């Protein structure tokens, strides 16, 4: 999706993974008894992980499986992370995002219910139009980012992060109980559908072959129900987490392998994993929940003011509004910015320094950019240093490295507007 849809960084952000059983065993040098014991531990750990309907499919296609937010997910396939990244920028790739939480909100008071939780103006959305929004706390922090679509089928379609699924569902259920006790008509339905993302400049040409509908009429952040390559009951939403033109397709679990195989039948399409997804989203300047935004960060600090509906700013009737709305005019002490540097890669938690060596902030995500051939990062700095073009430093391996505050996205986005 357009917003950050991962709980923790992967590979290129330097946060690391828990390896799959095969990778784990390759890395150990123990004797036979030690290997058997490690294999049992690794097998037990993997067995405890949740699996998407494409788990076996990933394995069959060379996917290197890792632990991610309690799920076994592919970090990459046979192609390198860089090759997969560039293929997505130049052609198109399939990402398995079935681990994400999909929810339908039913009932006459569904809009009122959702607006009691998020900062967006859901009421003003047209039928089948969606928007990025934020669950916020009463203190103004961000519980999660999500996409809310106002469908013409009598429900709201909500997609939120896998790593936040438990707290998001609990948050919505708690508010649901309050609404029902007050006599409002609203219900939640948590979906078991699979979800795949097809991202890249050739997406529309590839997907159009499997649609009766004219895909050119589906613009960025709009959604439609359709049969895709003969698979009925799919919801196609034109959005994504790469900065490229793309869609996310919610599909019945029993048909997702079939649909994925049909898409892969086109030579333009390859599978891509979490590693490429992370570097693609960082080039696009998209936030990663748990790194770049969290419950102690406000939307204003995160430069996400645009997610707050104008009407909502006036009514101040969303959680944390009394803290968040005044910050829009008064500004904040710190601000999320982009950074560009050369030399050694910049990773999460890297200190950001002023030109005279004073700590002025911290990197929240960083990686070498495959497209730009230089290091990119985002992080929070004291507001006085947030202007684009400001020369600063980052502390890498205890050495100060020159860096520059840069506008985001780092790579131009290609969202389809018609």
Looking up residue 126, the CATH number of its domain turns out to be 3.30.70.1400
**176 and 254 both lie in a single domain:** no
Please compute the mean of the pLDDT values over residues 276-299 and round it to a whole number: 98
More confident residue, 1 or 222: 222
User: Where residue 47 falls among pLDDT bands split at 50, 70, 90?
Assistant: confident
Residue 5: per-residue pLDDT = 38
DSSP strands (E only) in 266-331: 269-271
**H helices, E strands: number in the chain:** 11, 21
- Which tens digit of pLDDT belongs to each residue from 364-402? 999 999 999 999 999 999 999 999 999 999 999 999 999
Structural domains of the chain, count: 3
If one counts every other C-beta atom within 10 angstroms of the C-beta of residue 382, the result is: 15
Q: Grade residue 45 by pLDDT with cuts at 50, 70 and 90.
A: low
- Domain at 200, CATH number: 3.30.1360.120
Q: Which helix (H) or strand (E) holds 160?
A: strand 155-160
Does position 239 have pLDDT exceeding 60, yes or no? yes
E-strand stretches of 238-386: 246-251, 269-271, 334-341, 351-353, 359-368, 375-382
* 100-139 tens-digit pLDDT: 999 999 999 999 999 999 999 999 999 999 999 999 999 9
Q: 39 pLDDT exceeds 70?
A: no
- Which two three-digit tokens encode residue 413? 């986005």
Do residue 92 and residue 139 come from a single domain?
A: no
Q: Going by C-beta distance under 8 Å and a sequence separation of 6 or more, which residues neighbour residue 341?
A: 374, 375, 377, 394, 401, 402, 403, 404
In terms of domains, do 279 and 389 share one? no
Interval 29-40 mean pLDDT: 42
Helices (H), 61-140: 81-90, 110-115
pTM for the model stands at 0.90
Last residue of some domain: 172, 190, 208? Answer: 190
Q: Which residues of 148-171 are buried (b: 16+ CB within 10 A; e: fewer)?
A: bbbbeeebbbbbbbbbbbeebeeb
Quick one: 269 and 197 in the same domain?
Answer: yes
Residue pLDDT, tens place only, 342-353:
999 999 999 999
Last residue of a domain, one of 147, 175, 190: 190
Does any domain span residue 62? yes
> Alpha carbon 276 to chain centroid distance?
12
Residue 9 has pLDDT above 60, yes or no: no
Torsion of CA 211, 209, 93, 286, to 10 degrees: -50
248 assigned binding-site residue: yes
- For residue 365, tell me if it sits in a domain: yes
**At 67, which helix (H) or strand (E)?**
strand 64-68
Cβ atoms of 251 and 231 closer than 8 Å: yes
**Residue 14 pLDDT more than 70?**
no
Residues in the chain: 418
Structure tokens at 284: 């696009």
Q: Among 129, 161, 190, where does a domain finish?
A: 190
Q: Where are the alpha helices (DSSP H) in 17-138?
A: 21-26, 32-48, 55-60, 81-90, 110-115
Task: Identify the residue whose tokens are 């290129």.
Answer: 12
Strands annotated E in 180-291:
187-190, 194-199, 223-228, 231-237, 246-251, 269-271
């Amino acid at each position: 999706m357009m917003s950050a849809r991962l709980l923790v960084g992967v590979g290129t952000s330097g946060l690391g993974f828990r390896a799959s059983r095969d990778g784990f065993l390759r890395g150990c040098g123990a004797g036979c008894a030690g290997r058997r014991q490690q294999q049992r531990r690794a097998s037990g750990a993997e067995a405890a992980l949740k699996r998407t309907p494409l788990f076996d499919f990933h394995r069959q296609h060379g996917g290197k499986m890792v632990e991610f937010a309690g799920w076994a997910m592919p970090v990459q396939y046979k192609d390198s992370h860089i090759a997969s990244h560039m293929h997505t920028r130049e052609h198109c790739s399939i990402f398995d995002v079935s681990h994400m939480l999909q929810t339908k909100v039913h009932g006459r008071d569904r809009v009122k219910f959702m607006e009691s939780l998020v900062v967006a103006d859901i009421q003003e959305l047209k039928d089948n139009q969606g928007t990025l929004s934020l669950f916020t706390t009463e203190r103004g922090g961000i519980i999660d980012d999500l996409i809310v679509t106002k469908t013409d089928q009598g429900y709201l379609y909500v997609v939120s992060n896998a790593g936040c699924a438990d707290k998001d569902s609990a948050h919505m259920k708690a508010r649901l109980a309050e609404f029902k006790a007050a006599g409002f008509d609203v219900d939640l339905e948590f979906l078991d559908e699979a979800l795949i993302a097809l991202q890249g400049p050739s997406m529309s040409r590839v997907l159009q072959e499997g649609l009766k509908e004219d895909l050119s009429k589906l613009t960025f952040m709009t959604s439609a129900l359709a049969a895709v390559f003969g698979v009925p009951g799919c919801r196609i939403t034109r959005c994504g987490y790469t900065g490229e033109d793309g869609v996310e397709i919610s599909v019945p679990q029993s048909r997702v392998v079939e649909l994925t195989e049909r898409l892969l039948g086109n030579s333009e399409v390859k599978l891509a994993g979490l590693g490429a997804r992370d570097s693609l989203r960082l080039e696009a300047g998209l936030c990663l929940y748990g790194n770049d935004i969290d419950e102690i960060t406000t939307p204003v600090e995160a430069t996400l003011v645009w997610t707050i509906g104008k009407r909502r700013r006036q009514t101040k009737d969303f959680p944390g509004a009394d803290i968040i709305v005044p910050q829009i005019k008064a500004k904040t002490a710190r601000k999320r910015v982009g950074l560009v540097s050369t030399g050694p890669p910049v990773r999460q938690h890297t200190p950001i320094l002023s030109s005279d060596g004073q700590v002025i902030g911290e990197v929240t995500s960083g990686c070498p950019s495959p497209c730009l051939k230089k290091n990119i990062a985002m992080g929070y700095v004291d507001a006085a240093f947030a202007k684009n073009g400001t020369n600063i430093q980052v502390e890498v391996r205890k050495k100060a490295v020159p860096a520059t505050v840069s506008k985001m996205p780092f790579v131009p986005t290609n969202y389809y507007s018609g």
